A and B are shown apart, each in its own frame.
Chain A
Amino acid sequence: MEKTAPIVELSHVEVNFKKKAGLFKKADYVNALHDINLSIYPGEVVVLVGESGSGKTTMANVIAGIVQPTSGKVFFKGTQVPKMNQEQREEYRSRIQMVQQDSYASLNPMRRMIKTLGDPLVIKKYSDKKNVEEKVSHFLNTVELTPPENFLQKYPHQLSGGQRQRMLIARAISMNPELLLADEPVSMIDVSLRVSVLNLLAILNQRDNIAITYITHDLATARYVGQNGRIAVMYLGQIVETGNLQEVLSNPQHPYLRALLAAVPIPDPRVARQPRETNIKTMEEIEEGIPHGCRFHNRCPYCKEICKEKKPVMEKHGFSMAACHRIAELPPFSLYQASRKEDNHEG
């Protein structure tokens, strides 16, 4: 991988959210992110995967500067975020753009698309008032909303879910970003259209060299955006495994990732009906709060004494970096076992 300077760098980031004090309760803290180290390089795809409550959205908010870390540092192009001057801050705000999950809630219902997309261009002086329509049309073409004239005068409610999602992407790329933070961008659109939006993100990445951070709970879609990128698997505010996406998914190390992979249904009855080992506990079966030692130990089928006492550190295992005491002793894992058997059978 090219070792140019990262766009964003998170170093030992820790985020605690304050829980309000109740009548009989003292104010408390919820640890949302713990000791996060992550660098995002230009033109790179990083997929953040985790269940709800794993801290993936908080991480996006920290990267975008919406949430300030409790401790630790966030760097944008080498400068620490709170120490930026006006000019750097403006650059930071423009070069990192978000594509939100709920396209209906994130577009102003009272504004036509030309206003929604055009105003930021004028304000940021990317375009003058005269040429704004032409400029907006260009971005609509990029996100395959063609012909653009059909969309310029529309209100959000006149568009379908897939079209609104494309509008969000158009709005984000109009600021000439270096990094797109896409937080579950396809979870609310129809299955038949998902692949096309995912492909659009992949095209923006490959053709325009925009780095993409794709945040999702759905490993199946992660493959489409992140084919050539990296993956970071999150659990209870920590990164538990990271590495090249293809390698990590075909060779998962951490028991949590293995459980996640085994739980994803496969759209093929012959594969999906194969008996699988699902021995992980669900979130409801364990006590609330963050456990001592390895944060995953109370759900882990391979838990030993050491896991309850000592926090595992990230170490190199196979193709990934993973944090688990027991990796060396884990049985081999193969998600594709079932499908491969089928292939042999036919061939």
Chain B
Amino acid sequence: MPPKEQITSSMKSDVFGEISLKIEDLCVDFLLSGGDLRAVYHLDFELPAHKMTGLVGESGSGKTTLTSAILRSVSTPGEITQGKIFFENQDVLKLSDEKLRRFRWNEIAMVFQAAQNSLNPSMTIQEQFAETIMAHRKNISNKEMMEISRKLLKQVKLEPERILRSYPHELSGGMKQRVMIAFAQLLDPPVLLLDEPTTALDVITQDYIFTLIKQMHDQTHNTMLLSTHDIAIVARVCDYMAVMYGGRIVEMGDIFTMFESPLHPYTQMLIKAAPSLVGELKERVAIPGSAPDLMKHHEGCIFADRCPYCYDRCQSEEPKLKVVGEEHLAACHRADIGKEGR
């Protein structure tokens, strides 16, 4: 394996400049007894390099399926049926098994949703760290390994000596989550996927973990994709925000653009629906209707039946994600009206 420094991300995008990942026309299907469910639907996505991008969506919108598709680890009965995922100009979906094994964790690592279940309960943290490092780097010395582990644990404000000797059950939820964040960085991957890293944690612990993640990002400038249902967290830490709905990305752009002049009605309504500690209570309105049934075939726009601006074209023709401004994409036939203020 060549040393890390020689690999340079050379992918460019017209919209976001340098990018780390490029996804084209990706479909992930779940083959269920009642029919096929397309959890990710002909999705195009570019992940800006060295930035933190928030992937926002409600439950069932396909966030987790998309992030696990990037690592080619969609859980059965899910299957990637179509599309391309480019990392350093190489299609991840075409990698051989051996190359894929080396690619995972080395190039792209992931912090999973339930940290409690991601650690092996019968091994100490040290053993688990060692196992992972050795699987990827044959010639590493024991001393070097310990050094990496200590450094990473210190970065997430844990005492290395104590933690390395511990079993997962001896740690609290917040500590385990921080161990997982350190774990994901063991091989110093250029891209990090974080899937709801703070669900089930207290507000203060959550705040603390995001402070750590932000500090880490400021130091390493790794590319990060943070998927969450909480847009307030994205507002706090991310540089870009992508909004998912019904297996599609409906809008993506710079964080300030997304919050101050969103063009997709779903984004606009989602921001209005989020409870907040500041601002007028009456301004907060829920989105009428409920999430789309992905077992059904949708003619036209997926959001049409909940959208207040829907017209005939929305019912018949599916809107494509297109450039609507500087570093700003939206999939809506009526995005132009949005600019003038609806």
Contact = CB atoms under 8 A, between A and B. Distances in A.
Contact of B58 (A190, A221, A266, A336): A190
A263 interface: yes
Interface stretch (A88-96, A112-120, A129-137, A278-286): A278-286
Given A192-B273, A194-B273, A261-B277, A218 B203 contact: yes
A51 to B, nearest CB: 4
A225 to B, nearest CB: 10
A284 B259 CA distance: 34
A267 B54 CA distance: 13
A162 B203 CA distance: 23
A51 B208 CA distance: 14
Interface stretch (B73-81, B188-196, B280-288): B280-288
Contacts of A218: 203, 275
Given A160-B291, A284-B175, A191 B255 contact: no
B278 A280 contact: no
Contacts of A219: 203, 277
A134 B226 CA distance: 48
Q: Is the interface of B mostly helix, strand, loop or mixed?
A: helix
Nearest to B211: A278
Interface string B262-290: 00000001110111111101001111001
Contacts of A51: 202-204
Interface in A151-167: 160-163
A283 B172 contact: yes
Interface string A247-288: 001000000000111111111111111000010101110000
A267 B269 contact: no
B59 interface: yes
B236 interface: yes
B83 to A, nearest CB: 27
B197 to A, nearest CB: 13
Contacts of B206: 263
Given A191-B229, A266-B232, A272-B235, A217 B270 contact: no
A271 B203 CA distance: 17
B218 interface: no
Contact of A335 (B175, B232, B255, B278): B278
Contacts of A192: 58, 269-270, 273, 286-287
A306 interface: no
B207 interface: yes
Which of B204, B233, B290 has the largest number of chain A CB atoms within 10 A?
B204
Interface stretch (A103-111, A195-203, A314-322): A195-203
Given A265-B230, A265-B232, A223 B277 contact: yes
Contacts of B255: 269
B174 A268 contact: no
A302 interface: no
Contacts of B290: 160, 162-163, 193
A263 B275 contact: no
A265 B211 contact: no
A266 B276 contact: yes
Contacts of A270: 256
B303 to A, nearest CB: 11
A209 interface: no
Query: What class of interface size applies to chain A in its complex with B?
Result: 35 or more
A217 B198 CA distance: 14
B184 interface: no
Nearest to B209: A282
A249 B281 CA distance: 14
Contacts of A162: 290
B21 interface: no
A270 B233 CA distance: 12
B286 A193 contact: yes
A339 B204 contact: no
A339 B277 CA distance: 11
B275 A194 contact: yes
A268 B110 CA distance: 27
B286 A282 contact: no
Contacts of B232: 220, 264-267, 272
Contacts of B235: 265-269, 271-273
Nearest to A280: B204
Which of B235, B271, B275, B291 has the largest number of chain A CB atoms within 10 A?
B275
A339 B280 CA distance: 12
Contacts of A260: 203-204
A198 B232 CA distance: 18
B277 A249 contact: yes
Contact of B278 (A268, A278, A284): A268
A118 B61 CA distance: 34
Nearest to A52: B202
A268 B259 contact: yes
Contacts of A249: 277
B205 interface: yes
B259 A282 contact: no
Given A51-B202, A264-B207, 18 more contacts: A191-B58, A191-B270, A192-B286, A192-B287, A198-B275, A219-B203, A219-B277, A220-B275, A249-B277, A260-B204, A261-B277, A266-B232, A267-B271, A268-B259, A268-B276, A269-B236, A282-B202, A283-B204
17 contacts: A52-B202, A163-B290, A190-B58, A190-B229, A193-B273, A198-B275, A217-B202, A217-B203, A223-B275, A224-B281, A259-B204, A264-B207, A266-B276, A269-B235, A269-B255, A283-B174, A284-B172
